[in-house]
């Protein structure tokens, strides 16, 4: 591997501090992410839940040993569309100081290849309505805005 190459791999528990810092540094996310050590057990519990599921995966993009991006995938199967499966890509983040260097595209390409290898019929994702740059990025990769999403906060 040449210096600067991006490796996509499944996240490990030791990646959590870098991932938490990436989420906490996101001014648009609004998810309450924090690097406060008291919150670490919440992240560790979520990580354990994700890694225990055969239909979920948390990935990181790594460059020269540093975590520079992340995304999560989930496979869902429904009765509509003749019982086919879809991959949902969530929590796509590239470290802010490294955006525009192809890391995000590499992560999405990896997810799409994984979906194809699993026989999934559809890949979908959501993006915060204020992230106009992200919307243009996803459209450049071939995604089409097709649905309106709704959310209801319970906590």
For the chain, give the mean pLDDT: 92
Rounded Cα distance, 129 and 117, in Å: 30
Rounded Cα distance, 125 and 113, in Å: 15
Q: Are 149 and 115 within 8 A, CB to CB?
A: no
Q: What is the pLDDT of residues 76-118, one digit of tens each?
A: 999 988 889 999 999 999 998 999 999 999 999 999 999 999 9
Which of the residues in the chain have pLDDT under 70? Answer: 1-4, 29-30
The pLDDT score that the predictor gives to residue 1 is: 47
The pLDDT score that the predictor gives to residue 30 is: 64
* Cβ count within 10 A of residue 92: 21
Supply the Cα-derived Rg of the chain in whole angstroms: 16
Which tokens go with 127? 């993006």
Antiparallel, parallel or unpaired: β 85-94 and 122-125: parallel
Kindly state the helix (H) or strand (E) to which residue 63 belongs, with its residue range.
strand 56-63
Give the rounded percent of residues in the chain with a pLDDT score beyond 70.
96
Going through 64-125 in order, the beta strands assigned E by DSSP cover: 66-77, 85-94, 122-125
The pLDDT score that the predictor gives to residue 155 is: 77
Q: Are 114 and 73 within 8 A, CB to CB?
A: yes
Domains and CATH numbers, the chain: 6-140 (3.40.630.30)
Which tokens go with 77? 């199967």
The pLDDT score that the predictor gives to residue 54 is: 94
């Amino acid at each position: 591997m040449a210096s600067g190459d991006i490796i996509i791999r499944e996240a490990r528990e030791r990646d959590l501090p870098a991932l938490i810092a990436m989420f906490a540094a996101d001014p648009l996310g609004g998810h309450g992410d924090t690097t406060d050590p008291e919150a670490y057990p919440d992240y560790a519990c979520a990580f354990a839940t994700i890694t225990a599921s055969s239909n979920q995966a948390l990935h990181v993009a790594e460059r020269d040993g540093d975590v520079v991006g992340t995304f999560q995938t989930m496979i869902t199967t429904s009765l509509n569309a003749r019982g086919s499966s879809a991959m949902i890509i969530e929590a796509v983040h590239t470290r802010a100081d490294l955006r525009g260097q192809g890391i995000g595209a590499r992560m999405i390409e990896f997810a799409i290849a994984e979906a194809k290898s699993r026989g999934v019929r559809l890949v979908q994702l959501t993006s915060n309505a204020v992230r106009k740059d992200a919307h243009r990025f996803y459209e450049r990769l071939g995604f089409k805005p097709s649905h309106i999403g709704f959310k209801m906060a319970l906590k």
